[in-house]
Amino acid sequence: MSIIHVLDQATINQIAAGEVIDRPSSVVKELVENAIDAKASVVTIEIKEGGQKLIRITDNGSGILKDDLSIAFKRHATSKIVKAEDLVSVGSLGFRGEALSSIAAIAKVEVITKTKEDFMGNRYVIEGGIEKECEEIGAPDGTTFLVRDIFFNTPARQKFLKSVSSETSHISDIVERLALSHPEVSIRFIVNGQNRFHTSGNNRLKDVIYSIYGRDIAKQLLEVNLEKEDLKITGYLGKPQVAKTNRSYEIYFINGRYIKSKMISESLEEGCRTFLMQHRFPFCVLHMEINRERLDVNVHPSKMELRFQNPEYFSEQIISCVKQTLGGNDLIPETKIEPTVIKEEPVYNPAPKPIPEFKLPPIPPKKIEPIEKPKVVVPKPESKIVKPEPKLVIPPASKIRLVGQLFDTYWVVEYEGECLIIDQHAAHEKVMYEEIVESLSTRKFQMQQLLPPRIITLTPKQRTSYEQLNPFLSEMGFEVEPFGGSEIAVYGMPDNLIGIEPEEFLVGLLDRGSEGKKWVPEEVYERAATMACKAAIKGNHRLSEQEAKALFEKLVNLKNPYTCPHGRPTMIRMTQRELEKKFKRVL
Ligand code: ADP
Ligand code: MG
């Protein structure tokens, strides 16, 4: 009997579908692109449970004619090209005619559509590639796609889906990029019944950035405008203050498409290098128009590869454009107005926040922008809570003998037959760090109210991550609540973390969550403690002998007293025997 057999059509379609649709976010991408291709000016995207349960995309575009409905769901059915040569010139987003057939092959799809010319609309249902229903119904102009139970007939693929939050985050990425690449289209994004963002469709990119990333970022943007041979760049570049810790906010579109290019990313980073701190990446949303003849486009089902005919030329242009944008603007006043009401140190924290370092551009400041008054949305503090300076308790039962201090920093100590030279600052940091980690993990802290509360604007992805993280945050002594729209308010935080910037801490946490990475509680405590120590340690603080003794007592009793949280040594040790060997008293 033959062991080779030909796969049936349904299986062939499912395999082909897998290349186009690998997760719910690809469904969203294809359907929103179709809506934009259909000249819609308003598109609503709604998802439930990471898109696996439901994706609903509604547009007010051209609609699909009744006779075209079933054809549209056939493989390689497209209204956009007729033959292969058309691929080179096609300006629309989709052109392979594979999306609808692929989606229908792996999900339950319902379409309600009406063209302007038709009096009645049509409803068409197709599940796993099999037509189920087709009927005339009343409907508004445009098209609504409902996609349910993705991969219901391919459980093997379903297993590869990540958690709901991770799929939601993928979809957020796609929808954000679509909104940023089409400021002329009003896009509403709804997750589990909650409005994530809504762009107005007024064709102003800055307004789209505001809708997605919030006021704090939108306030710190520099306009980019470059027109050179074969290259045009427009859009916005964030000032150094809004630089990010990862590359995911380097957003650029080439000829309308979101594309990742190593050359472009490296050029952007090179252009920013002298303006940003180390390990920081620019925030930008740039539209690049590149002469199509200078590009070699390789279309792959899931990604698009670009090769540039003269990469050095484009790289140079991008680098100098970024340098000019950052260098041509006066960045000084912005750093001065940075500590607004929202950024203000908590009233009970006397430690000043270090001003972030960045090199200033060589060009002298041109004009000082008027200082924008921040909107005060919270009541003024009525009373000040002053946290008392922690006093070190001097242990009665101590084996430590202080010999003396060197250079105002190092203490020479005799302890259990050893000579220790202890770095006072490193010791202080280490002891404090361990105490904070311990108190956080054993819940030995009290919630302190923040007056006024801190308002933090979140991106849609951070928002998803916040919903997940919130129970953990409250366990950790943070009182955080939604503050309407994309904002959250921090009303309280654990007293042992007073001094850290709640915004810096929480946003760092949420960013990591939104990248799909999980936080282990211990890691969170360690991160919090590191930040708290940094905020609390004061340089050249003179310790009295009693304070030093109490501090070192704590230090030597730690599990690992030898290195500070950053891995630097806290002490140098020498045993009595080693000393005697050095003096050749023993051999
Ligand atoms: P492609 O977009 O590559 O042409 P698709 O499978 O995505 O292929 O779509 C097939 C066809 O269905 C499109 O060419 C278009 O004519 C029609 N279509 C799909 N979605 C819409 C929509 N939202 N509004 C109007 N027409 C649509
Ligand atoms: Mg398409």
Binned at pLDDT 50, 70 and 90, residue 342 comes out as very low
Residue 340 Cα, ligand 1 centroid: separation in angstroms? 49
Q: Identify the residue whose tokens are 């470059």.
A: 226
Element (H, E) at 575: strand 571-575
Q: Report the 3 state secondary structure along 34-88.
A: HHHHCCCCEEEEEEEHHHCCEEEEEECCCCCCHHHHHHHCCCCCCCCCCCCCHHH
Confidence of residue 95 (pLDDT cuts 50, 70, 90): low
Average pLDDT of the residues in 310-317: 92
Instruction: For ligand 1, atom 20, name the residue with the nearest CA.
Output: 34
> Do residues 124 and 110 make contact, with C-beta atoms less than 8 angstroms apart?
yes
pLDDT of residue 234: 96
Higher pLDDT pick, 259 / 186: 186
Q: What are phi and psi of 130, to 5 degrees?
A: -105, 125
Q: Are 292 and 258 spatial neighbours (Cβ–Cβ below 8 Å)? A: no
Q: What is the mean pLDDT of residues 90-105?
A: 71
Quick check: 220 and 238 in contact, CB under 8 A? yes
* Atom number, ligand 1, closest to the C-alpha of residue 62: 25
**Mean pLDDT confidence for 419-425:** 89
Strands of the sheet containing 447-457, edge to edge, are: 447-457, 487-494, 479-482
The residues with which 411 forms a beta bridge, in sequence order, are 405, 422
For residue 381, pLDDT over 60 is answered with: no
Which of the two residues, 52 and 531, has the higher pLDDT score?
A: 52
Q: Among 100, 144, 146, which is best to mutate for testing ligand 1, by the most ligand atoms less than 8 A from CB?
A: 100
Gap from CA of 166 to ligand 2 centroid (Å):
24
Give the pLDDT band (50/70/90) at residue 344.
very low
Lowest mean pLDDT segment, chosen from 54-63, 139-148, 483-492: 483-492
pLDDT at 46 over 90: yes
Q: What is the pLDDT of residues 440-468, one digit of tens each?
A: 888 788 888 888 888 998 888 888 888 88
Question: Which ligand lies nearest the alpha carbon of 81?
Answer: 1
Write the DSSP assignment of 202-249 as a string of letters.
SS-HHHHHHHHH-HHHHTTEEEEEEEETTEEEEEEEE-GGG-BSSGGG
What percentage of the chain exceeds 90 in pLDDT?
34
> How much is the pLDDT for 416?
85
Assign residue 201 a region (left: φ > 0; alpha: ψ between -120 and 50; beta: otherwise). Answer: left
- Ligand 1 mutation pick, 37, 74, 145, max ligand atoms within 8 A of CB: 37
Whether the CB-CB separation of 144 and 111 falls below 8 Å is answered with yes
Provide the mean pLDDT of the chain: 80
Looking from the CA of residue 35, the nearest atom of ligand 1 is 23
Look at residue 299 in the predicted model and tell me its pLDDT.
Answer: 58
Better-scored residue on pLDDT, 463 or 359: 463
Which residues keep their CB under 5 angstroms from ion ligand 2? 34, 94, 99
Amino acid 345: pLDDT: 31
Top pLDDT among 374 and 121 is at 121
For a pLDDT cut of 70, what percent of the chain falls above it?
Answer: 80
Cα dihedral across residues 79, 84, 89, 93: positive or negative: positive
Average pLDDT rounded to a whole number, residues 329-354: 35
Q: Best substitution site from 26, 31, 33, 34 to test ligand 1's pocket, by max atoms within 8 Å of Cβ?
A: 34
Model pLDDT for residues 571-583, shown as the tens digit of each residue: 888 888 888 888 8
DSSP tally for the chain: helices H, then strands E? 18, 22
pLDDT at 122: 96
Q: How crowded is the C-beta side of 241, counted as CA atoms within 13 Å?
A: 19
Q: What is the pLDDT of residues 211-248, one digit of tens each?
A: 999 888 998 999 999 999 899 999 999 998 888 888 88
Q: pLDDT per residue over 499-520, tens digit each?
A: 788 888 888 888 877 666 667 7
Question: Is residue 257 helix, strand or coil?
Answer: strand
The answer to whether residue 353 scores a pLDDT higher than 80 is no
- Between 565 and 474, the more confident residue is 474
**What are the φ and ψ backbone dihedral angles of 393, each rounded to 5 degrees?**
-85, 130
> Cα-flanking dihedrals φ and ψ of residue 285, to 5°?
-130, 110
* pLDDT tops 70 at residue 354: no
Binned at pLDDT 50, 70 and 90, residue 332 comes out as: very low
Q: Give the confidence band of 540 by pLDDT, cuts at 50, 70, 90.
A: low
